[in-house]
Structure 1
Amino acid sequence: MNTICFGEILWDILPQEKVPGGAPMNVCYHLNQLGQGAAIISKTGTDENGKGLLAFLQQHRVDISLVQTDERQATGTVIATQKGNEMEYDIVQPVAWDFIDVTEQLLDKVSQASYFVCGSLVARSEHSRSTLYRLLDVAKKKVIDINLRPPHYQKDTLEYLLKQADILKLNDHELTLIAGWYISETDFEKQVTFLSDQFSIPTIIITKGANGAALYHSHTFHYHNGYKVTVADTIGSGDAFLAGFLSRHITNNAPEVSLEFACKLGAFVASQKGACPPYDAREVEKLTS
């Protein structure tokens, strides 16, 4: 298995419907859609929501052999409310993915994988955070996806994750907040290079919403203005962006090529309902700026 994703697996409860979600699951889904084998480590309840999520993933040929079940905790849910083009989230706690157990099987699988992808949200609970730290100890390439959802994060936890990152993905608002903990600098590039130097992060990707994205790699900045689409909702578009970037980065594409495809996939998913729409990668390639 080339990539293993770790973290939350849940249902996004939208005003009109519920759709599968959770940033690591979304990344895993899109990597598989793009032909990159990926497995998900998480935990569901034994309830109907859990059975539904596992059925969805199996239907889309996502490896669920590392998903645990919890007889006491419910499957994760997020109550999503749309405010203009942005979504606000009420992330229910505690739920099953707050209690992911470390096992010898997980340690073995993660140590063999080329890439290990995790978000910061799963570290909100002591149990799953402890498991995450153990897995980071054995992982090869570590991809850290920052998701700052107040009140579900702590500065010391984020600092630990930043120190682990080989590839860091965050949005421009998160960049400003985190850099602001250490420096008063407001220049975008200086904030990015500070984080890269301070935490020894070789590659940093920054999404900028409708304004595209930036990539800092090998001490060089790359920019893309993004693709203009009619937004259905923005749920999961950042996760799709990360999966798009990794799908090209893993196959040794040039940094600007990886960034361009990431922007394409992120924009495409924003034009669809939910975080995991069905699609063919050729549909994404047809997008033009």
Structure 2
Amino acid sequence: MTGGLFTFGETMGLVAADTIGPLAYAKGFSFGIGGAESNVAVGVARLGGESCWLGRVGPDATGTLIKGRLEAAGVRTIALADEAFTGLMVRHRRSGQFAHVDYHRSGSAGSRLTPADIPAHELREAGIVHVTGITPALSETCRSAVFQAVETAITAGVPVSIDINYRAKLWSRFDAAPVLRDLVALADIVFASPDEAALFVDADDLLGGLAKLGPAEVILKDGGHGCVAQINGERHTVPALPVTVVDPVGAGDAFVAGYLADRLAGATPGQCLTTAIATGAFAVTVPGDCEGAPDRAELIALTGGDLRR
């Protein structure tokens, strides 16, 4: 690929309760897929951009489903066959506001990713290489793959994007902080929630603290409060769009997809942020991780036509 998004990581099967309340009282379940990196790849593709996702999948129906779903969404998919099982997550919403996720991924195919799995030419030909803080938490080989990929992209002059995406169930704050800090110091574009940024920078100056580590584009995602950003030294603040929340899961990945899709298309920073806010808002109005990722026409409908590119 030339000029598009390249990303990699673990995508899992997703078992989700269809109703809100304790898991024991769920009346039915749906089965889909979910993974931060592939969610972003789907979001970029839906917005008209080129995207590629790479990851390991097992010799099972879940691995086949992941490949098929991503390809159907327009994502160029490099699904590497592995003898281990494809990971699973089980999610239910204890209330309308809080979601609970259990992971079944220790020793999974996705956790066995290695630096040798990622072709250097894919990194060199990409428009942006996007990674998350989830992949380095999965295993030592995954961590090595992330850092090697980032360094290869940097050497080739390809912008690197990272979404902190801290997962407390995967590693402690103590273990995560130095690794995430090192990744941010290498990146050109950084996405984080305020809590994630506070893992390793001063909470009194989150934007400035992240920017001092090196990235030119720092974006703080803050849910219903919108976002604030420091891009090439200029500060931006964009409020959230008022929408009815159906399912908050996947909003952060949709936000990232909106920003990166517009950046790949050559939009201004303000336009990238406006699209990011709109894609994040659209995501919470539909259930699922990436199934409801919007296209351009749907974003225009959501914003009443006020979406300037």
The TM-score, its normalising length taken from structure 2, stands at 0.85
Give the Å deviation of 1:105. 6.1
Q: Measured at CA, do residues 7 and 104 of structure 1 come closer, stay the same or move farther in structure 2, by a change above 3 Å?
A: closer
> Hey, what's the Cα distance between the residues in 2 that align with 1:283 and 1:252?
21
Partner in structure 2 of residue 76 of structure 1: 87
Contact 1:85 1:231 in 2 (8 A): no
Deviation at 1:118, TM superposition (A): 0.7
Residue 12 of structure 2, aligned match among 5, 10, 20 = 10
The partner residue of 1:265 within 279, 283, 287 is 279
Report the Cα distance in structure 2 between the residues aligned to 1:276 and 1:243, rounded to whole angstroms. 11
Q: Are the equivalent residues in 2 in contact too, given 1:78–1:89 (CA < 8 A)? A: yes
Letter in 1 for 2:17: P
Maintained 8 Å contact 1:8/1:97 = yes
Partner of 2:195: 173
Q: Which string of whole-angstrom CA distances, capped at 9 and with x for unpartnered residues, describes residues 104-146 of structure 1? A: 7612211221210011111111111111221111112110011
Residue 151 (structure 2) aligns with? 137
Instruction: Give the superposed CA RMSD.
Output: 1.7
Indicate the larger mover: 228-237 or 8-17.
8-17
1:213 to 2:227 alignment: yes
Question: Could you tell which deviates more after superposition, 150-159 or 42-51?
Answer: 150-159
Pairwise mapping of residues 63-142 of structure 1 onto structure 2 (< 5 A)? Answer: 63-64=76-77, 66-71=78-83, 73-82=84-93, 83-94=95-106, 95-103=108-116, 106-124=119-137, 125-139=139-153, 140-142=158-160
Deviation of 1:13 (Å):
2.1
What amino acid does structure 2 have at the position aligned with 1:208?
D
SS at match of 1:149: coil
**SS of corresponding position for 1:178:** coil
What is aligned with 2:23?
Answer: none
Is 2:303 aligned against 1:288? Answer: yes
The answer (yes or no) to whether the contact 1:215–1:222 under 8 Å persists in 2 is yes
Question: Residues 97 and 255 from structure 1, CA distance in 2 versus in 1: closer, same or farther, beyond 3 angstroms?
Answer: same
- Residue 7 (structure 1) shift: 1.0
2:207–2:229 contact (8 Å) kept in structure 1: no
Equivalent residue number for residue 47 of structure 1:
60
Q: Structure 2: where are the runs of 5+ without partners?
A: 19-29, 305-309
SS at match of 1:103: helix
| One-letter code aligned to 1:147 | N
Following TM superposition, the consecutive aligned residue runs of length 4 or more in structure 1 with deviations greater than 4 angstroms are none
Please tell me whether the aligned partners of residues 68 and 100 of structure 1 are also in contact (alpha carbons under 8 angstroms): no
Give % identity. 25
Q: Determine which of 72, 85, 103 is the counterpart of 1:59.
A: 72
- Structure 1 counterpart SS, 2:115: coil
Extract unaligned runs of 5+ from structure 1. Answer: none
Alignment match, 2:237:
223
Q: Residue 168 of structure 2: which of 131, 136, 150 is its match?
A: 150
Instruction: State the number of aligned residues.
Output: 279
Aligned counterpart in structure 2 of residue 195 of structure 1, from 204, 210, 213: 210
Q: TM-score, normalised by structure 1?
A: 0.91
Q: How many Å separate the matches in 2 of 1:44 and 1:200?
A: 34
